[in-house]
């Protein structure tokens, strides 16, 4: 029950700004307006874009629109890398923000049983869940926070997050470039570049995950309050 309430609160925290400011922010950043806004910052446009994507953690910034604008400004490859980096930093911020509260606080927040269930979930399907969640509304931030609470292995989380983030960055950057008279086929090809490496990454990370059972993660947290 406590886990359900935690998820509900996380969703509410993400959705509330969307309901309040979503239309206004979307109108300012979508399409040509978003490109014009970034162009105002000249050589610093890429940093501003990354900041906007990371701020999607607390504000209803349309990250896909920003990534598409990056494609128009920098082309599909460089724009995709910049957009992917922004999405990756946003996910890592959410993950570490929740992980750093410590195992004691996490157990107090969701309870030992729910925490163990979360750990088992991320051990079984966490790699795919983290990667695919980057394409969904609301879910990226919520899932990253839950991964941090359950103390999912940081390396596995980062690898899965990178695959999902850069695939999304490449795809929307290519889509933005396509609107600038580039072939739409670039969208599919750019999205497949980082995803092509995923099966191999998943194989090695899954093998490593099997050497660190979820119950060991929980026990280490109990035995090391200072973590």
Q: Where are the beta strands (DSSP E) in 75-154?
A: none
Per-residue exposure over 134-171, b if at least 16 CB sit within 10 Å of its own CB, e if not? beeeebbbbbbbbbbbbbbbeebbbbbbbbbbbbbbbb
Q: How far apart are CA 219 and CA 33, in angstroms?
A: 51
DSSP state, residue 95: H
226: how many CB neighbours lie within 10 A of its CB? Answer: 6
- The predicted model scores a pTM of 0.74
Rounded mean pLDDT, 171-191: 61
pLDDT at residue 10 above 70?
A: no
pLDDT band at 116 (very low <50, low <70, confident <90, very high): confident
Q: Give the start-to-end residue ranges of the domains of the chain.
A: 2-222
pLDDT band at 218 (very low <50, low <70, confident <90, very high): very low
Rounded mean pLDDT, 76-99: 93
Cα Dmax for the chain: 59
For the chain, percent of residues with pLDDT exceeding 90: 19
Rounded mean pLDDT, 194-221: 52
Rounded mean pLDDT, 12-19: 58
pLDDT tens-digit series, residues 189-207: 444 555 555 565 555 555 5
pLDDT band at 224 (very low <50, low <70, confident <90, very high): very low
pLDDT at residue 188 above 60?
A: no
47: how many CB neighbours lie within 10 A of its CB? Answer: 12
Q: Identify the pLDDT of residue 227.
A: 42
CB 130 within 8 A of CB 164: yes
Which tokens hold the place of 108?
């107090």
Query: Long-range contacts: 4-9, Cβ < 8 Å, 24+?
Result: 6/109, 6/110, 6/149, 7/142, 7/146
């Amino acid at each position: 029950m406590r886990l359900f309430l935690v998820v509900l609160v996380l969703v509410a925290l993400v959705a509330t700004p969307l309901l309040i400011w979503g239309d206004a922010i979307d109108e300012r950043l979508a399409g040509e307006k978003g490109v014009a806004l970034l162009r105002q910052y000249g050589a610093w446009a890429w940093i501003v874009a990354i900041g906007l994507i990371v701020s999607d953690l607390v504000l209803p910034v349309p990250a896909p629109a920003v990534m598409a604008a990056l494609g128009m400004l920098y082309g599909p490859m460089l724009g995709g890398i910049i957009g992917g980096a922004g999405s990756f930093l946003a996910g890592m911020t959410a993950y570490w923000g929740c992980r750093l509260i410590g195992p004691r606080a996490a157990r107090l927040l969701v309870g030992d049983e729910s925490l163990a269930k979360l750990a088992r979930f991320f051990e079984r399907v966490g790699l795919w869940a983290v990667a695919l969640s980057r394409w969904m509304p609301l879910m990226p931030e919520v899932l990253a926070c839950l991964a941090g609470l359950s103390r999912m292995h940081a390396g596995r989380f980062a690898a899965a997050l990178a695959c999902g983030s850069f695939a999304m960055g490449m795809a929307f950057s290519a889509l933005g470039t396509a609107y600038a008279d580039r072939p739409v086929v670039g969208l599919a090809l750019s999205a497949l570049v980082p995803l092509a490496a995923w099966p191999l990454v998943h194989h090695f990370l899954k093998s490593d995950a099997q050497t660190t059972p979820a119950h060991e993660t929980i026990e280490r947290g109990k035995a090391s309050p200072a973590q």
